[in-house]
Amino acid sequence: GRRVSKEPCEKTQAVTSYSNEGTQVTVEIHPKDTAPQLFKKLSFGKGPQRLPSLRGRDHKGFRRTEAPRPPGGKDLHAYPWDRSSLKSIPVDLQQFEKLDAYALKVNVKNSVEELVKALLKQARTDLEKVRAIWMWICHHIEYDVVGYHDKSQLSSKPIDVLQTGKCICEGYAGLFEHMCSIAGIQCMKLSGYSKGYGYKMGQTFTGDSDHAWNAVYLDGRWHLLDSTWGSGSVDDSFTKFTFRYNEFYFLTHPALFINNHFPDNSNWQLLKPTLTLKDFESNMLHNSNFYMLGLLAVLPETAVIQTVNGKASVSVDCRSATLFTFKLKGTDEHGLMTLKKHGMKLEIYPQKTGSHKLQIFAKPSRASEEVYSCVLEYIVECKSVDKAMRFPKDLHQPVGPSWFTERQGFLRPSHRDPIIHTNDGRCSVTFTLSKDINVLASLHSDDSSLTEDMRRRHIMQIHRGNQIELKIHLPHAGNFVLKIYAKKKSDPGNYDYIFNYLITCLNTEVKWPAFPQSYSKWAEDYEILEPLSGLLPANRNVQFKLKMHGIAKVLVQAENTYPLTQSRGCWEGTCNTSGCREVFVMVHENANHSFYSHVLKYEVEIQ
């Protein structure tokens, strides 16, 4: 006798015989408490030389596998999803790289048996065999959009699908089942309802099933896959198919597969408890992008959201830092999105009543390309509008500080919320800078005619070591966007936009002038203590107090020139504004030099 199995089998006898046709048959005899298996190996010619294992044989050189057993208790997975894995079996995709590359290159179109034989040359385990068949189908069979519209032109026979390279879901599932059968793997073609092309949120399902997919038997359990959806997608008009491989639908965890696949026979959900059709209809559709990007859960879980006092909220949990954006009726104007370390929060304030389509997009935080994938869709039903929450057009999503702004060098923000409320029109935001960066900030509002220069002059930067303070004086009441930009000090290029806050002020009495204009010689760590207003009163004595260092002299030039005196790190003194329209602060950097540099400029009120 000769053992065929590479794994040791305790207390198992193996009897091998060779028929005169050259077929080697191995029967293993097991103790009665273990499951018996029949192995048949192909061989050409007499004696023990044999081909790589293609189990069994029929009149074409192969045999069909035994009738698949129905799913039972050990096949079932808990529902809802336990967030452990996207797949129902441990899969290391890196270990498949060579096999995948090999499967893609196999080019056999004359018979399904020959194709399977070629694919299995590199596949040892049942999992590898299923993988090779899956990869080949997903990359070589395209969805037949013409056949879908004209069924008379359509054949779902495996050989026809192989030779035309086209089919609809029935053909994909049929070919997959047939190829697995040839490879000696139990496989079932399943049918049911799906949330695929043409699905509308909240719709009900009636009548015949509309989709087909497969279950395969591996490692003593049933597993689910959908090679139609693994291969690509059709366009909105259903006239063009694009190959776009989707790993998600290979051995998908049943608690995720049920999100858009509802089998005719509820046993094939492979879930405990099973879902009703009503559950399936009302559950939020999470497409494959949702899970492939590491997103875990979302609130609310219903596809239709009712606003409460003009507001609707959505939150997403995810495994790792992820960037999000959204569109409400095609724009991102009427919402406030904030990034969290493990997700995001979005508040929506539609400015019209009625139904609004809300789409949420995401991409990995480290992704270099700018492409966001749509991960969620809702219908927002708005009964009343909150006009107070009309945001400036310049507000950019997401709003407020986050892990992303920390990564850009802005640590320990004084304001963690996206909105800063001020009653007197003044506020101050501080950060610790973790990088050697220059910061630029500007103020934007829909109802303000601020020039670019004035947008910056309503903000004053104060640096103390690696701390930066942004002092803001609003020119009037309303909603403002504080935009913050940065660049490396060593970088001569432009500033990059980093993030923004929303600043709100309801006090209509507010009317702060801009801060004084500063020139290039005004150093980053200088500080104005007084006067902060860039507009000085006429015909008055004005007190100056400036924190500056490494300077020989400071003068304030009005109608006359007034020297400031140094005292405890500050330059102080008084200047009279009579008879002048502008006041300049000038510094003498070196006592041996005769020239002064302008550092600040104030305007004087007109009488």
Among all residues, which ones are annotated catalytic?
169, 211, 226
Among the listed residues 25, 52, 49, 21, the one whose alpha carbon sits nearest the alpha carbon of residue 37: 25
**510 vs 209: CA distance, rounded Å:** 65
**501 vs 483: CA distance, rounded Å:** 7
User: Token pair 């708005």 is at which residue?
Assistant: 382
User: Token pair 């009488």 is at which residue?
Assistant: 607
Residue 268's SS3 state is helix
Residue 334's SS3 state is coil
**422 vs 508: CA distance, rounded Å:** 12
Assess contact for 375 and 248: CB atoms under 8 A: no
**542 vs 573: CA distance, rounded Å:** 9
Residues 6+ apart with CB under 8 A from 547: 526, 527, 528, 529, 569, 570, 571
Among the listed residues 278, 320, 309, 313, the one whose alpha carbon sits nearest the alpha carbon of residue 298: 313
H or E segment at 28?
strand 24-29
Among the listed residues 222, 239, 286, 265, the one whose alpha carbon sits nearest the alpha carbon of residue 73: 222
Angle at 124 (CA atoms; ends 119, 126), nearest 5 degrees: 85
Assess contact for 244 and 233: CB atoms under 8 A: yes
User: Token pair 């039903």 is at which residue?
Assistant: 381
Q: What is the DSSP string of 354-379?
A: EEEEEEEEEEETT--S-PPEEEEEEE
| Amino acid sitting at position 243 | F
Among the listed residues 47, 68, 350, the one whose alpha carbon sits nearest the alpha carbon of residue 223: 68
For β-strands 221-225 and 211-218, DSSP reports them as: antiparallel
For β-strands 478-488 and 437-444, DSSP reports them as: antiparallel
Positive/negative CA dihedral, 299, 304, 308, 312:
positive
**264 vs 211: CA distance, rounded Å:** 10
For β-strands 304-306 and 373-382, DSSP reports them as: parallel
**22 vs 42: CA distance, rounded Å:** 8
* Cα–Cα distance list, 490 to 411, 487, 531 (Å): 20, 8, 32
Among the listed residues 395, 383, 483, the one whose alpha carbon sits nearest the alpha carbon of residue 440: 483
